[in-house]
Amino acid sequence: MLKFHTKILAYLSLLLSISGHHSLTAQDNNKKYTRIVNAWNKAHNEWKFTDLSKLYAPKVLFYCSWVNKSECVENKTTQMSPSRVFRQKIVSPIKISALAENLILCKFTKEVTTDDGKARYPAYLVITEKDDQLRIIAESDDITDRNMNFTLTGDLFINPGKNPKTPKPEENSDSGLGLQFYSITSISAIAIIAIAARRRKKRKALATISKPVETMVPEPQPEVVEPLKEEFTSKEKGDLFESFVINKFDTNYFRITEKPDDRTFNGMASEQRQNPDLVVMFELRGYQAKFAVECTFCSTVKDIIEVKSWDKLNRYKEFGRNRQIDVYIILGLGGVPQNPKELFIIPLPKAKAKMSYDDLKLYNRSTVNRLFFDRDTGRLT
């Protein structure tokens, strides 16, 4: 009887050891995922794009669209620079859970401060683990996902950029090792438990993170901020897209000479509000060219796109004639204003109040590269 009790105690001791090991493993995993999120956040605030590039996988599901890592980082460079206000910080616990095998979902609230003010977003990163290397393979926020009717699932990552396939269910490596405590009568049961423990150790993060775990980041300083944003207003969309366009201009060659004040005074708007959004000067080796830009964003892609009203187009033409400068309509189409899917630069003489998508294709350009002024043609491209 004493021998039996000794065996039972040994068995219980082993079970506690295994349980403690898995608990420590889960905590260690959570710490390394948190480190990735914090490194991502730090790289944004310090404009360290090389460090940021090292954190991303070769292909990234970036705000509902698959892009190459270089495109993802290039997009960041247009949003952030030491010459403009940009700061973000994580103001909530980081909730870590398994999205699928080798895919870890990290959800948190980020607070972003820009020239236009401060706002909070329910954001997330998806981290992939392969060959002991951690990389960010997805980035977005709940507002963008909802606006794009996008649902995040593990199937999206089976073939990045391709239609998802249904993965085969994971086999349970412990099947058939049911533990019947009351029937253990020999030391061989301990060996069975040890084998099961080794098998469990080989499992990836999906096994060690069985439910969401909250890992606290350093506590933020108390601060009065705006409530969590659920939708963008029309003005906010316009401001976000205008900021996107402004950051497409390389400050080594372009400078903004005029930007109308869009505030109202005692209910009266400034006359400058009738002008295009920006007047820009291009300078290169003694060569100068001034032009104006009107920014407009349309989230919905249709066969016929409403560009600007005829009244506004005619007003911009008059502005161009009076100033003797060219005017361009820069149109963002699809996606979100801070990351449109398509970009078009339309010379004002070619612009119409409503244009077909086929007509717009003539003026399509990369959403990633910076804007360029061609001295030979005298055109913004």
Annotated domain spans of the chain: 2-215, 234-380
d(CA 89, CA 280): 32
Residues 306, 349: contact at Cβ < 8 Å?
no
Place of tokens 């906010």: 236
Structure tokens at 210: 């069985």
Place of tokens 């889960």: 26
Q: Looking at the predicted structure, is the pLDDT value of residue 225 above 70? A: no
CB neighbours (10 Å) of residue 73?
21
Tens-place pLDDT, residues 319-358: 999 999 999 999 999 988 888 999 999 999 999 999 998 8
Instruction: Tell me the whole-structure pTM to 2 decimals.
Output: 0.44
Assess whether the region 2-215 and the region 234-380 belong to the same CATH fold.
no
The dotted CATH code for 2-215 is: 3.10.450.50
d(CA 13, CA 1): 18
Contacts of 143 (CB under 8 A, 6+ apart): 121, 122, 229, 230, 231, 232
- How sure is the predictor about 47, in pLDDT bands with cuts at 50, 70 and 90? confident
The secondary structure of residue 92, as a DSSP letter, is: S
Q: Looking at the predicted structure, is the pLDDT value of residue 59 above 50? A: yes
> What is the third-level CATH fold of 234-380?
Trna Endonuclease; Chain: A, domain 1 (3.40.1350)
Residues 338, 233: contact at Cβ < 8 Å?
no
d(CA 104, CA 38): 15
Tens-place pLDDT, residues 154-207: 889 988 766 444 334 344 434 333 333 333 333 344 444 444 444 454 454 444
